[in-house]
Chain A
Amino acid sequence: MTLGPYGPLGSALVSGVMAAIIGFDGLDGLIGSLKARGYRTMGPVASGGAISIRELKSAADLPRGWEDEQAPGTYRLHQTASPDLFNWAVGAGSLKAEVFPPRSIIWQAKAPGYEVEEISDDVPPVAVVGARPCDLAGLRVLDRALGSPPVTDPAYRRRRDAVVLVAVECSRPASTCFCVSMGTGPSASEGFDLALTELGGGYYLARAGSKIGKELLEGLSQRRARREDFARRTELLARAASHMGRSVDQHGLPEMLVRNLSNPLWDEVAKQCLVCGNCTAVCPTCFCSNFEDRTDLSGTVQRERTWASCADLAYSYVHGGPVRASIKSRYRQWVTHKFSWWWDQFGTSGCVGCGRCITWCPAGIDVTEEIAALRASDNAGETHGEAHLQ
């Protein structure tokens, strides 16, 4: 039994509990029970100079005291004396890799009959502890692109349906975060099994968002959540919301971008863009992929799916050459797809405001700044000429 600031935590269970206060031991118990249920339990660790998502052994692996500083093209991690485990914003890794791995074999066929057999990876189901609200929003976007009719990707759906999400709401956003303006954070309201709020002093408000979340919560050492716990959560989230480093004015944005396809600002950003594809790789919603067939000397044919990027020359290659040969056309494709065409295709923005593409761009290109600059030079109603595709 642990003594909390508001009284003792115990395992005296109120049945049907949907919210409770847990301590570090509760968190450890949570990771333990996820593992006991057969989940490959992933979560944040301070590794290689950043918060990365790795397999957890116990709550002791969580990044206690670590805090991040993020800026365009720069990320630094430093340790503090704080006992808090979640005093950081998103790192480069996102939930995307868990539901949509960088490479996967789709099917194979073997000589001599070349019967096609579907390959469904039998990896254990994954649980992720420490997913951020923008990560949950990112999954909702991926769900629309990959996991819903008319074209549902079975491999995505399999992994997605199996995943258990323990979200942690944000109390210390980075300077690159803009979830408030994208309407995706810093609070978690849907799409989780459990959502935690780090109240400080080693205590967490835990809310269940699904049947399994409720079952997990009921098994943990805890005490009842009181009104003051919820008040503390509100206060922390309000503070986080007021500490957003950036914002994107979404008003009329899809139309504004389409009006500005020939804005000379694209030429300016093209001077910096490395077309390295780091932005698309770290983006929790970028889902473009290649399907390629490979033969081997024994006569086996495999179709493999790999992450692709609109930054690639080869990605727009059609008969006769690439449609987007210039750097400018590829950067513009990325921004206009995310913030404009995505609405037409999926009824949502392709951006959830996580800021990853800003931090992890080696050239330090800030998409919020680019959009603001386009808006500043936009003459509403007047189209900047016809788009040149190259």
Chain B
Amino acid sequence: MSVAGQVGLAHPKPSLAVWKFASCDGCQVSLLDLEDQLLDLLGALDISYFLEVTRTVVDGPYDLAIVEGSVTTPADAERIKAVRAASHFLVTVGACATAGGIQALRNYADTGEYVPTVYANPAYISSLPTSTPVSAHVTVDFELHGCPINPVQLLEVITAYLAGRAPRIPDFPVCRECKAAGNVCLLVAEGVACLGPVTSAGCGALCPTVGRGCFGCFGPASTVNTASLSSRLAADGASQESLKRIFRGFTAGAPEFEKESSRHDPQP
């Protein structure tokens, strides 16, 4: 991460804009979950655009933009360009903004085919055939993964931006957080399907800690060997169909997971 935020500030305090695209709002709201740090954050940043917090809207340009959500409509494909143009430092947050989100499942189907079965008046629907991450449309300065993101990591990204340093966001697999937590490996000790070995850390091994295999919410780690994990899961009894599905979750649109799920799809 560059120190762009520190030069040529548009306001005395850096201004913050929080944008929503196709998403559930959970990631941007996690900023508000930082209850203990909220006052410090307000002291360090001017909230210029954050509709979940205030209807007051200050015009751009903005120093720090946090973007949640994927691009799924022609209108949003234009809007994200305007957001980029108005932002000094743009951070995308969450599985939607960084990988297309769960709605990227549409990438494996024909929207033209199912829109009429869902909407009474399909004519009102103006939708792109795919759900894509923000980085497919504009340059992104930093991507924070997760579904939802970990608020502590969001705080780290903002704090690092304010200090002009690189954020400490690991890109090694969930297994490492799982071992550091002292968990017994579910895959090894119980044969539970777990995406931990190929998924980026960041959640603190939330699911394995409560006995559920990792769902891959934080997307692929920096180096993955999805084919090897699939062989292991298949040896434990996973069918082709379940292998396809396991890689087709909240980060179905991440290229590494997209490739792996398609390997197990009889009709790609």
Contacts and interface: CB of A to CB of B under 8 A. Distances in A.
A297 B232 contact: no
The listed residue with most A CB atoms (<10 A of its CB), out of B171, B179, B232, is B179
A363 B231 CA distance: 8
A330 B189 CA distance: 25
Interface in A246-288: 271-278, 281-282
B125 interface: no
Interface stretch (B18-26, B63-71, B156-164): B156-164
B175 A92 contact: no
A290 to B, nearest CB: 9
B179 A281 contact: yes
A278 B191 CA distance: 16
B232 A362 contact: yes
Interface in B189-243: 189-191, 194, 196-198, 211, 222-225, 227-229, 231-232
Given A282-B179, A292-B168, A314-B170, 14 more contacts: A48-B211, A50-B184, A76-B189, A92-B184, A275-B173, A277-B172, A281-B176, A281-B180, A295-B163, A307-B180, A311-B172, A312-B222, A360-B185, A363-B231
Interface in B127-181: 156, 159-160, 162-163, 165, 168, 170-173, 175-176, 179-180
A338 B162 CA distance: 41
Given A93-B182, A278-B179, A49 B229 contact: no
B41 interface: yes
B110 interface: no
Given A48-B189, A294-B168, A297-B162, A274 B173 contact: yes
Q: Most chain-A Cβ atoms within 10 A of its Cβ — which of B182, B184, B222, B231? A: B184
A327 interface: yes
B180 A313 contact: no
B184 A52 contact: yes
B118 interface: no
A330 B225 CA distance: 13
A282 B228 CA distance: 20
B180 A102 contact: yes
A359 B185 CA distance: 10
B180 A274 contact: no
B21 to A, nearest CB: 28
Contacts of A74: 188, 191
A314 B229 CA distance: 21
A92 B179 contact: yes
B40 interface: yes
Contacts of A77: 189
Q: Which residue, of B41, B171, B176, B225, has the highest number of chain A Cβ atoms within 10 A?
A: B176
B77 interface: no
Contacts of A312: 172, 222
A68 to B, nearest CB: 10
A362 B223 contact: no
Nearest to A364: B232
A257 B214 CA distance: 36
A309 interface: yes
Interface in A52-91: 52, 73-77, 91
Interface string A225-242: 000000000000000000
A363 B232 contact: yes
A307 B197 contact: no
Contacts of A103: 180
B229 A307 contact: no
Main secondary structure of the interface of B (DSSP, over half): helix
Nearest to A307: B180
A93 B189 CA distance: 13
17 contacts: A47-B184, A52-B182, A91-B184, A271-B228, A274-B224, A275-B225, A277-B172, A277-B179, A297-B44, A306-B180, A313-B172, A314-B171, A327-B223, A362-B185, A362-B187, A362-B188, A364-B232
A311 to B, nearest CB: 8
A52 B188 CA distance: 14
Nearest to B185: A360
Contacts of B165: 293, 295
A297 B228 contact: no
A97 interface: yes
Contacts of A15: none
Contacts of A363: 197, 225, 228-229, 231-232
A77 B232 CA distance: 20
Interface in A293-351: 293-298, 306-307, 309, 311-314, 327, 330
Contact of B175 (A97, A273, A276, A293): A276
Contacts of A273: 225, 228
Among the interface residues B40, B44, B183, B189, which one has the most CB atoms of the partner chain A within 10 A? B189
Contacts of B6: none
A379 to B, nearest CB: 29
A336 B173 CA distance: 23
Contacts of A48: 183-184, 189, 211
Nearest to A326: B223
B2 interface: no
Nearest to A52: B184
B176 A277 contact: yes
B223 A49 contact: no
A276 B156 CA distance: 24
B172 A362 contact: no
Given A296-B159, A297-B159, A272 B176 contact: no
Contact of B188 (A274, A281, A296, A360): A360
Contacts of A275: 173, 223, 225
Given A93-B182, A297-B37, A297-B162, A281 B189 contact: no
Interface string A358-379: 0110111000000000000000
A97 B173 contact: no
A307 B173 CA distance: 13
B188 A73 contact: yes
Nearest to A47: B184
